[in-house]
Structure formats: structure tokens, C-alpha cells
Amino acid sequence: MRSGNRQLIRDINRSLVLNLIKNRGPISRTDIARLSGLSLATVSGITSDLIAENLVYEKEEGESTGGRRPILLALNHRARYVIGIKLMEHQITAALTDLNAAVLHRITSPLEDGQDVSRTVEALAETVEGLADRAGIEWEKMVGVGIGLAGVIDSVRGVCRYSPILNWRHVPLRDLLEERIQIPVYIDNDVNTLTMAEKLLGIGQGIDDFLTVTVGRGVGMGIVVNGQFYRGARGAGGEFGHTVIDPEGPLCSCGKRGCLEAYVSDPAIVRMAQEAVQRGELPIVPTELSAERVVALAQEGNDTARRILSHAGHVLGMGIANLINVFNPSLIIVTGEGVRAGDMLFGPMRDAVQRYEFANLAEDTEIVVQEWGDDAWARGAASLVLQEIFKPPVYESEPVSLAVSVS
């Protein structure tokens, strides 16, 4: 907690000025004072400090309104850097970004045993240090690491409460990695990190109520309500994939039956393909079974493969309709590896949404199927740090320091 209200006020004013420059820049000191309500002297003092820290720079002169042409200020996106990581059971995908979340360097590292916590922490540390070294970034300019991983994540305490993929329970990942690399670490559910990136940088900007649904290895959801992220009481909100479609349905990876994920995810598509192979309906040898192969067969015109994807899309549409009925969002973003199936999956999904939505609520909701890129997860995780950097300070938390120590 900060000592004294005066320091808190300084921090709030600094955050206000920095965010105005980030969001409105290039911008003059006079306009900053007008928009913030701060005195021009206060704005000049804060911006002088920001310039000295190389966070802000003076750009071209603005249009004159009769006097001297004002000097405009802009954020120096390359003043500091963050790293975003997608942690999986056999792989670490990491991206180094600037303060605008532009990916500058990336690395993918194998992970021998993701279930071993100590070895995973060491692998994460080596990935972070190796990426910064490869990019030629001084360690003092690294302001934080964000990590997205599947499961129930307590982002406030930095604890992975449960990850079915890693088989972790109550792992204090944030503290373990911070102790090793000595810079701030933030963790969250991987779909929440994607949603955060959409809110800060993507098509969710300026939208107060939207959902992000991911389809791939599993089915997940990120939630923004009234402009705020909703994670539930302890970080478990958004387990869309484990809403039950049919209690007598197929076995889900969670151990229960009939979850939406057991109909829609990549493993579910592979399971349905295995059943079709056993019936002699698909020309696939067992070693070739994959969701990608099913999609390829469907694209080639195989009716069975098309029926598998259509059924998955129909069930997904039922779930999406339920989300619309519960949340009445302005926007639903559907993304993830599963978008590879295209209209063969999402055509039936849209039909089912229209069939199962209530009182034409779907008319209020734009559904966007977003193309998938390998950097999306890591860029989303980097947004965890960026959110902290630009978040207005509060009594209970300290902001991420952007200051670079000078010896």
C-alpha cells in the first residue's frame, strides 16, 4: 500500500496523463490539461518525467489556433517490453511484445513434463530469459511476464487452482516464477487472456458486453459484462465447455458425461471419426486420425466427415443460443484452432442459434468467427501485463513499475 494520499494522487495523475497520451496521442500538453482537468503546470511536470524515462517523446508540431504551434506528445511503444506465454502440457509458446502488444520476437519450446511443477517453472524461466536475450533486450526494460493456461485460475492470488491438462492443483505459479526471474508475473485462464487482448486492442474495444468463445483442444469462454471482466468468485467463471448438453451423452475429459466439450472439441471430433472408421464410413487408418484430417476429408466432399462437423456445429449453436439468452451480449467472438473447419462447422452453428434463441435476442448479437493465428494466445497473455501497466492505481495494489534504474 502506498504511504500517504499525496503519493496516491501523484500516481493517479501520472496514470491519467499516460493513458491520455496512449489513447489520444499524438496530443498536446494543453489538450491533456483540458481533458484531464489537471493544471497545465501539473501536466508539464508529469510529461517531463515521462520524457526523461523515455516513455513519451515529443513528436511533430500540431495545428496552430492562432499562437505558437503546439508540440505533440506520443507514447514510445519500444520503451519497455513484456513477454506473453501460452503454457501447454508439452509446449511453451512465448512472444515478446512492445507496449502496443506488437509481437517482435517469438519462440516455441518443447516441455518434457508439464506436470512436474519445478521443471516447468525452470523451463518458463529459461524461455523468458532466452527470448529477451535473442531479441537483444536489456533485462531492465522487461516489465513483466503474462501466462495463460487452461484451467481454473485465481488471477488475483496467482494460483492455478486446477488444470486438467497439467494435472495441477493449487500451484502458486506466479510466486514461483517471480522468485526465479525477479520481475512481475501475472497468470490467468488462457481464454481470459484472449478476451483481454480483444478488449484492449481488438474488436472488443469500446464494447461493454461481449463474450469470447474458443473451440479447439477444449471449449472455453471469456466474459466482459458492463465493461468489466467477469471471472467468478474464485476464477472459475466461463467454463462453457462443461455445461451439460445430455447427462447420458459421451464421456468428457473432465470425467462427467454429456458436456458441450464432448461434442464440439477436437478430441470429440476425433472420437466421432473413430466411431465412423469402425463402422466403415471413413477411409482413415488409425494413425491418421486427427481433427485436421477430418476437416480435410470434409473439404474433399466426404459426407461422413461433413456430418461429423455439422453435428458439432449444431451442438455449439445450441450452446451459443443459451449464452445469448443468458447474457444478451452485443458481440460474441468465436476463435481458436477449431475455426479451421469454416462454414462446415459454423453454418450449422448459426442455424442452431436462430432455432434455439429466445425472443429474437440473437438480433442484438453480432457473431464474429475470427481467423486464428499462432501468436494469439501469447499476445493475449502479454495483455495481462499491459493491463496492469496502464490500469489506474488503487489503494490495494501497486502499479507495474516502468522506471528503469540508472546506476
- By annotation, the residues acting in catalysis are 190
d(CA 281, CA 29): 70
Question: HSE (CB half, 13 Å, CA atoms) of 404?
Answer: 16
What is the DSSP pairing of strand 185-189 with strand 168-171?
A: unpaired
Peptide bond into 26 cis (omega under 30): yes
Residue type, 177: L
Residue with the three cell numbers 477430418:
294
Backbone φ and ψ of 57, nearest 5°: -135, 155
Q: Under a CB-based contact definition with an 8 Å cutoff, are residues 361 and 238 in contact? A: no
d(CA 60, CA 70): 9
Q: How far lies 313's CA from each of 260, 261, 318, 331, 405, in Å?
A: 11, 12, 9, 19, 53
Closest CA to 350 of 374, 366, 372: 366
Residue with the three cell numbers 523451463:
123
DSSP string over 341-353: GTHHHHHHHHHHH
d(CA 222, CA 304): 32
d(CA 360, CA 356): 10
